């Protein structure tokens, strides 16, 4: 198939494929999004796509901080792409037009800073993943020794990190007399607005105290809870989608029907009417974030490590195993739900809905994908919950098994003795710890517990926790996951 998706061919697509109802040429950029990966394009961009017909000021300019592949694939398509929603009933495709441009920072930093500083830009949104915050995951503070931060502090006009880019854009706007923008984090972090605020304010202070003060006084950091499962797109997905839409799309997205966005209503410089596209505007996002991080992401991480070790390649494979399903059900019911306070929300129904979403067999969500960057994810997904359980004098056997699963996974060998390809900013540390511990489970646990950025200062001192991890690492290594879960 040679014809490529683009504005010119939109009229030729089969009628049942939805496409932008608005004139794209008249849309203006009101949002700059850093981290224009699959998740953003399946989530926030779709909400905006629904609004643009009535609100042409809220188009999105996306930026990639690491790789040019999204820009390279989307530029020949006029930044159009297909959203394919899959469930048991089949695949429904729609063309999304909210993304007006995509800038690769390394090639066009000046352009990006220019759009970020333009008065029409009123929101900078972020899906830069946990590690994009250049912070210490256990404390949420800026990691001032992070190589990108060191670089950006030395050369603030040529930033490579998200905090560096945002602060430089704030400086430009202030100097040009443009009104401040809001910074909206859409990453899976607890109190993500507050986390972004701490990091960006600190970075600005380190650049110049008066800039720090300006950020403190003028910039809003609304928190959000975002939810949609978006597996990495495969070549088979690309082929199937191009077949359905009748032209070639090099960069489509595959996702589930479920979609949720809860947003703190804190946009002093104006915002799109998000609620008209189905987002929920609230005064306090924290209870929603906590529920989602602990229930969905906590269960995801536990099932990714344990599932991968046991040889399950996808999330739906994991939950199709009765023992694994029962384990996850109990993990949520007995150890996670009791740490949540959500009056008015039926948490048991939420649990059941999650397990149904996990079981969607048409998604092929790789356990390996979720297992990535565990050092950045574990604190908010499993360890905070364990801390609460310890505080309440309650048991945390299953949560600890998830953490032990991570330790065994991070030590690099699965149950069949196959080497695991670890993708994590601390991968080198894991290798060092594993090499020096050898077969000694206690030494392995001890080595991992010394990772302060993951476990913080207090938790490693809890004897029961340490002992429980040792016991579970031994169990996992000697008897395997399916025996260890009960
Ligand atoms: C997943 C999330 O990859 C992961 O770590 O847990 O991306 C998850 O699919 C989303 O948060 C769902 O909203």
Give the three-state DSSP class for 364: coil
For ligand 1, atom 11, which residue shows the shortest CA distance? 227
Predicted confidence at residue 486, as pLDDT, reads 87
Round to whole Å and give the CA distance between 255 and 350: 19
Instruction: Kindly state if the Cβ of 197 falls inside 6 Å of ligand 1.
Output: no
Residues of the chain with CATH 1.10.1040.10: 287-484
Predicted confidence at residue 413, as pLDDT, reads 97
Predicted confidence at residue 473, as pLDDT, reads 98
pLDDT tens readout for residues 353-411: 999 999 999 999 999 999 999 999 999 999 999 999 999 999 999 999 999 999 999 99
Predicted confidence at residue 1, as pLDDT, reads 55
The alpha carbon torsion through 115, 116, 120, 121 (nearest 10 deg) reads 130
Atom of ligand 1 nearest to the CA of 370: 3
Q: Does the domain at residues 287-484 carry the CATH identifier 1.10.1040.10?
A: yes
Predicted confidence at residue 302, as pLDDT, reads 98
pLDDT tens readout for residues 459-473: 999 999 999 999 999
Atom of ligand 1 nearest to the CA of 228: 13
**CA–centroid distance, residue 47 to ligand 1 (Å):** 18
Instruction: Kindly state if the Cβ of 266 falls inside 6 Å of ligand 1.
Output: no
* Among 123, 125, 167, 117, residue whose Cα is nearest residue 142: 167
Burial level of 249, CB count in 10 A (0-12/13-18/19+)?
Answer: buried
Atom of ligand 1 nearest to the CA of 297: 6
**CA–centroid distance, residue 485 to ligand 1 (Å):** 23
Instruction: Give the Å distances, CA to CA, from 324 to 214, 231, 353, 407.
Output: 51, 21, 16, 19
Terminal alpha carbon distance of the chain: 51
Mean of per-residue pLDDT scores for the chain: 97
In the chain, how long is the greatest CA-to-CA distance? Answer: 66
- Residue 134, sorted as left (phi over 0), alpha (psi -120 to 50) or beta, turns out to be left
pTM, entire model: 0.96
Q: ∠ at Cα 22 (16, 24), nearest 5°?
A: 110
Instruction: Give the Å distances, CA to CA, from 371 to 317, 350, 362, 451.
Output: 15, 23, 20, 18
Question: Which of 229, 293, 369 has most ligand 1 atoms within 8 Å of CB, for mutation?
Answer: 229
Helix (H) or strand (E) holding 25: none
Give every strand in the sheet of 253-255, ordered side by side: 90-96, 81-87, 253-255
Residues of the chain with CATH 3.40.50.720: 7-283
Instruction: Kindly state if the Cβ of 229 falls inside 6 Å of ligand 1.
Output: yes
CATH for the stretch 7-283: 3.40.50.720
Residue 379, CA atoms < 13 Å, CB-side half-sphere: 24
Instruction: Kindly state if the Cβ of 227 falls inside 6 Å of ligand 1.
Output: yes
* Among 287, 48, 369, 313, residue whose Cα is nearest residue 184: 48
Low-confidence spans in the chain with pLDDT less than 50: none
């Amino acid at each position: 198939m040679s014809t490529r998706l683009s504005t010119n061919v939109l009229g030729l697509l089969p009628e049942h494929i939805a496409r932008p109802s608005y004139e794209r040429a008249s849309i203006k950029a009101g949002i700059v999004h850093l981290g224009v990966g699959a998740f953003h394009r399946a989530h926030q961009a779709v909400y905006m796509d629904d609004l643009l017909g009535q609100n042409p000021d809220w188009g999105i300019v996306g930026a990639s901080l690491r790789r040019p592949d999204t820009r390279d694939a989307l530029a020949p398509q006029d930044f159009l792409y297909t959203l394919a929603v899959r469930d048991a009933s089949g695949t429904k495709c729609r063309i999304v037009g909210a993304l007006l441009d995509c800038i690769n920072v390394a090639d066009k930093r000046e352009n990006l800073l220019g759009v970020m500083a333009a008065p029409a830009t009123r929101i900078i949104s972020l899906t830069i993943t946990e590690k994009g915050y250049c912070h210490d995951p256990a404390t949420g503070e800026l990691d001032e020794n992070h190589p990108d931060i060191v670089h950006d502090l030395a050369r603030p006009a040529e930033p490579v990190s998200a905090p560096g880019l945002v602060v430089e854009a704030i400086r430009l706007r202030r100097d040009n007399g443009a009104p401040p923008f809001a910074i909206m984090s859409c990453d899976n972090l607890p109190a993500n607005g507050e986390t972004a605020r701490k990091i960006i304010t600190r970075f600005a202070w380190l650049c110049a105290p008066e800039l720090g003060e300006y950020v403190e006084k003028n910039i809003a950091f609304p928190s959000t809870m975002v939810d949609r499962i978006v597996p990495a797109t495969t070549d088979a997905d690309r082929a199937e989608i191009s077949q359905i839409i009748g032209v070639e799309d090099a960069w489509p997205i595959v996702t589930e029907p479920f979609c949720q966005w809860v947003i703190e209503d804190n946009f002093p410089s104006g915002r799109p009417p998000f609620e008209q596209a189905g987002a929920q505007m609230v005064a306090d996002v924290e209870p929603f974030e906590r529920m989602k991080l602990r229930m969905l992401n906590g269960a995801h991480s536990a099932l990714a490590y344990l599932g991968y070790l046991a040889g399950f390649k996808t999330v739906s494979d994991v939950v199709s195993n009765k023992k694994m399903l029962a384990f996850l059900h109990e993990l949520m019911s007995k150890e996670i739900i009791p740490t949540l306070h959500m009056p008015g929300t039926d948490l048991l129904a939420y649990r059941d809905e999650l397990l149904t979403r996990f079981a969607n067999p048409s998604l092929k969500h790789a356990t390996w994908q979720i297992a990535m960057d565990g050092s950045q994810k574990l604190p908010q997904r499993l360890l905070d919950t364990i801390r609460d359980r310890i505080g309440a004098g309650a048991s945390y056997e299953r949560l600890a098994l998830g953490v032990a699963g991570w330790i065994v996974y991070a030590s690099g060998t699965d149950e069949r003795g196959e080497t695991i390809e670890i993708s994590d900013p601390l991968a080198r540390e894991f290798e060092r710890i594993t090499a020096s511990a050898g077969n000694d489970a206690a030494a392995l646990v001890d080595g991992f517990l010394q990772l302060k950025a993951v476990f913080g200062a207090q938790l490693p001192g809890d004897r029961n926790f340490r002992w429980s991890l040792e016991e579970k690492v031994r169990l996992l290594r000697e008897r395997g996951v399916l025996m260890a879960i009960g």
